[in-house]
Structure 1
Amino acid sequence: MTVARPYHHGNLREALLCAGEGALETGGVQGLSLRELAREVGVSHAAPRRHFPDRQALLDALAESGFARLGAALSEAVAAAGPHFDARLAGLARAYIAFATARPALTGLMFAAKHQAGAPPSLRAAAEQAFSPALTAVAEGQTAGEVAPGDPERVALVASAALQGIVVMANNGMLGETPVDELLDDVTSRLVLGLRPR
């Protein structure tokens, strides 16, 4: 006799997000199935639909959760770095690289979801909030005379592009024997020099 799976779970939404992130990292977006996740967390196949009406809703929630965690990591990095821009940039860079290389599939999903048409407003807000520590660091660096003047978003975009390049190279095995930390030190020192007022 088959025993019916329970419909309820102590914290089903969080359990599904945790299992979903694991499935995402091992099988990619295409391998993500609400039915399989329900089986993994031990609930009926219909139970996940109380929180996620379809797979896209789950993907959006994973991306939003990822941005919230990234934002917390970047905020902590800035707080720990002290007042000077070069230390803040190094802290931000290390925190971002650590997050993105530990979770390559989630990071890819986050950026794809952020730019998709019809992305939920809460997802877009989470993405903006995640990078606000970087924008604040740039703006405060400009006020202190440590960073060249200009639109803080544009300045932050230049730094982000360099860091994203490292992430893509690291996640695709393109760095060879070069440790990512060593390369990161080189990149951040070059960025600091390039962003200084002339």
Structure 2
Amino acid sequence: EIARRAGVSHGAPRRYFATHHALLSAIARRGFEDLAARFETAVDPETPPRAQLERLAKTYVGYALECRGMFELMFRHDLLDSAQQRDGRTQLRTSTLPLFELLATLVDRCGKEPGAVRRPGAPGDSAPPPTVTAAALWAGLHGIAQLWTWGSLQLALATPPPGDEERDRLVTAVLDAHLGPVAA
């Protein structure tokens, strides 16, 4: 089907992709490149880290809702090649690392802002490391995206199909849960 849509012979993809997994991996790599480019466009380094995180989070969830099939493929490491690529590229699963590192850096910078509220772990514990908070934040954002595409959030919240306002409220709730509310 891919060959037909590309207007090439049925066997042509085999010339470039040894396996179905290699083809899916190449497609997913394009998705990561697209998402990274959207992050770069969305995040203004001159704004405070919390505002950058908010834009990044909205972009992430927006991408998931706009490019549902690609988004789902990008995080299916069980389907994608995890070996060194033939062209010398690193493992596809490491494509998420720069995006995660950006998230963790911004979480760390948020915790260092004057008046920042850092959520501790269990009572009496200090705040978790920024990477742990970033991972929990990422999981929350990914959960919003996935549950929305499955229709679960609409059912639970009795809301219509996704709109920017509802998406933004959910993103803000996840940010507040992990970073604390924005100081007034």
- TM-score tier by shorter-chain length is 0.7 to 0.9
- Once residues 68 and 40 of structure 1 are traced to their aligned partners in structure 2, the CA distance between those partners, rounded to angstroms, is 22
Pairwise CA distance, 1:95: 0.5
**Deviation per CA, 1:91-145, whole angstroms, max 9, x where unpaired?**
01210111111121221111112x5686134312212123332122112222334
Question: TM-score of the superposition, structure 1-length normalised?
Answer: 0.68
* Separation in structure 1 between the aligned mates of residue 176 and residue 4 of structure 2, nearest angstrom: 52
| Compared CA separation, residues 101 and 179, structure 1 to 2 (3 A) | closer
1:119 and 2:52 aligned: no
Task: Give the alignment of 1:33-112 within 5 angstroms.
Answer: 36-79=1-44, 82-112=46-76
The DSSP-based 3-state class of the residue aligned with 1:112 is coil
Counterparts of 1:105 and 1:137, CA distance in 2: 28
The separation in 1 between residues aligned to 2:8 and 2:81, in whole angstroms, is 30
- Partner Cα distance (2:80, 2:38) in 1: 27
Alignment partner, residue 105 of structure 2: 136
Classify the secondary structure of the residue corresponding to 1:132: helix
* 2:100 and 2:134 in contact (8 A); partners too: no
C-alpha distance in 2 between matches for 1:78 and 1:112: 26
Q: Does structure 1 conserve the Cα–Cα contact (< 8 Å) formed by 2:24 and 2:80?
A: no
- Give yes or no for contact 1:78–1:92 (8 Å, CA) kept in 2: yes
- The answer to whether the 8 A contact 2:81-2:92 is kept is no
The answer on 1:188 being equivalent to 2:159 is no
C-alpha RMSD over aligned residues: 2.5
The Cα offsets for residues 69-112 of structure 1, whole Å up to 9 and x where unpaired, read as: 112212322226x4323311220121011111112122111111
Q: How many residues align?
A: 160
Structure 1: distance between partners of 2:24 and 2:161: 33
Q: List runs of 5+ in structure 2 lacking aligned partners.
A: 84-89, 119-126
Quick one: distance in 1 between partners of 2:30 and 2:175? Answer: 30
Query: Aligned equivalents of 2:180 and 2:30: distance in 1?
Result: 34
Do the aligned partners of 1:97 and 1:167 also contact (CA within 8 Å) in 2? yes
CA separation of 1:178/1:171 partners in 2, compared to 1, >3 Å: closer, same or farther? closer
Check whether the contact 2:21–2:80 (CA below 8 A) recurs between aligned residues: no
Tell me the TM-score normalized by structure 2. 0.73
Q: CA deviation at 1:50?
A: 2.3
The AA in structure 1 aligned to 2:113 is: A
- Residue pair 1:64, 1:127 contacting (<8 A) in 2 also: no
Instruction: Tell whether 2:138 aligns with 1:160.
Output: yes
Find the partner of 1:177 among 160, 163, 184: 160
Question: Helix, strand or coil: the match of 1:44?
Answer: coil
Distance 2:117 2:47 in 1: 13
